[in-house]
Structure 1
Amino acid sequence: MQTWLNLQDKIIIVTGGASGIGLAIVDELLNLGANVQMSDIHGGDKHHHNDRYRFWPTDISSASEVNHTVEQIIQQYGRIDGLVNNAGVNFPRLLVDEKAPAGRYELNEAAFEKMVNINQKRGLSDVAGGGPADGETARRRHC
């Protein structure tokens, strides 16, 4: 069945695709014929039998790891057609009720920086052309 959005053989990166919403996105993209490049810090064994799926172990809070993964995907496939920037984290200690008698936030600078790096800065910015200070990314060099 032809749809308005033809993803057949498109190279799509999905960050955070090992579980939850990301895993459902990976499943649907594979069902639509996409070639899914799943990037996550956790294992991605569920689709190991599918020749249109590849797991790339990547900590997306690290610009160098993201750029390395993008370089490898471009080297192997010659292009990237799309990105689902799904990876994200939440720290339970941020969910403490501040209005409760003993409630307090337990946020420190390191936890905040990691959360911002994953949820807001990495993945999309590095693949789409932001990222390193020199302004050059794997995507710019190869597209």
Structure 2
Amino acid sequence: MNQLSEKTSGNQVASLFSLTEKVIVVTGGTGILGGSFCQGICEAGGRVVLLGRNREVGEERTEQLRQAGGDVLFIQADVLNEDELNQACEEVLQTYGRIDGLVNGAGGNIPQAVIGPDQDIFQVNLPALRQAFDLNLYGTILPTVVFGRHLTEKGGSIVNISSMAAQTAITRVLGYSMAKAAVDNFTRWMSVELAQRYGDKIRMNAIAPGFFVTHQNRRLLTNEDGTYTARGEAVIRNTPYKRFGEPDELIGTLIWLLSDASRFVSGEVICVDGGFHIFSGV
């Protein structure tokens, strides 16, 4: 048996994708996509630290995951509050003694920052625009600097959440688009800096989801009766799969990026979008 086959024989391939006993912090864990992330990590054997602002949803989700056999810790925290993040980090270390991964899942658009088709483009709501920008960019940077430093001890993986809005121009969501484009840049920049300082111990990548119906975009994409809005129809028309994504369709990519299976992958933005970003519409 040659060297390559020895490294990949038996159960070694399956073990590459295992998150057994890895402690993974998930911000935005009370959201729709964040909840799916937490479930997938638990099913892969990981220990989930579920961070979110909504205590009621967080505690309910934690109980559901525990009943299904998951090892979950909920901590109420705002990703834009550094003091709360530092307190959360201390609680994680006191509980588990380590941090192996971080998923920067917190984010989303701000309704007041949406620029309607009839709105004066030179009269945008700048405070709302800044709020959307801060939530998505600094809501990624702050958890990284707070939790990420503890990955330097034993190594690990950081996964950011990008967007189709960072891949091409999407109307109405200027603040969100700028922030997600900055997240892509941060992902690439930070991956290089981490490698230069810590070698191959820490990697950072991003997932760019296609269109998934969440709390933030539901009214933009669907009507109250469940039919598509004109914007929703345009998305479907420009998605080769002709449908929105399901939250659990992000799990495979997430587990790959968090696990040892991606240990030579860093600085990448992986699109999970049913082909949206590569389709010309023709």
Q: TM-score, normalised by structure 2?
A: 0.42
Confirm whether residue 126 of structure 1 aligns to residue 146 of structure 2: yes
Q: State the match for 1:14 in structure 2.
A: 26
The one-letter code of the counterpart of 1:47 is T
Q: State the match for 1:111 in structure 2.
A: 131
Structural mapping, 1:90-109, within 5 Å: 90-97=109-116, 100=118, 104-108=123-127
Select 1:42's aligned residue among 31, 50, 54.
54
The one-letter code of the counterpart of 2:148 is A
Work out whether residues 26 and 104 of structure 2, in 8 Å CA contact, stay in contact via their aligned partners in 1: yes
Counterpart-to-counterpart distance in 1, 2:119 and 2:100 = 51
Confirm whether residue 28 of structure 1 aligns to residue 65 of structure 2: no
Larger C-alpha radius of gyration, 1 or 2?
A: 2
The one-letter code of the counterpart of 1:37 is V
Counterpart-to-counterpart distance in 1, 2:132 and 2:27 = 20
Extract structure 1 runs of 4+ deviating beyond 6 A.
none
Q: State the match for 1:57 in structure 2.
A: 76
1:73-132 Cα offsets, whole Å, 9 max, x none, are 1111110011111111321121123x52556421218736743432x4321222113xxx
Counterpart-to-counterpart distance in 1, 2:41 and 2:31 = 14
Tell me, what secondary structure is at the counterpart of 1:123?
helix
Q: State the match for 1:80 in structure 2.
A: 99
Counterpart-to-counterpart distance in 2, 1:76 and 1:123 = 18
Percent identity, please: 24
Q: 1:17 to 1:94 in 2, by over 3 A?
A: same
Report which structure shows greater RCO (CA 8 Å, sep ≥6).
1
Work out whether residues 27 and 52 of structure 2, in 8 Å CA contact, stay in contact via their aligned partners in 1: yes
RMSD value, Cα: 2.7
Q: 1:91 to 1:47 in 2, by over 3 A?
A: same
Work out whether residues 93 and 107 of structure 1, in 8 Å CA contact, stay in contact via their aligned partners in 2: no
Q: TM-score, normalised by structure 1?
A: 0.78
Structure (1 or 2) with the greater helix fraction: 2
Work out whether residues 13 and 38 of structure 1, in 8 Å CA contact, stay in contact via their aligned partners in 2: yes
Q: 1:9 to 1:94 in 2, by over 3 A?
A: same
Counterpart-to-counterpart distance in 1, 2:119 and 2:112 = 16
Gaps of 5+ in 1: 130-138
Tell me, what secondary structure is at the counterpart of 1:88?
coil
Tell me, what secondary structure is at the counterpart of 1:47?
helix
* 1:13 CA displacement: 0.5
Gaps of 5+ in 2: 1-10, 155-282
The one-letter code of the counterpart of 2:118 is A
Q: Provide the aligned length of Structure 1 versus Structure 2.
A: 132
Counterpart-to-counterpart distance in 1, 2:119 and 2:91 = 51
Q: Which stretch of structure 1 is more off in the superposition, 40-49 or 29-38?
A: 40-49
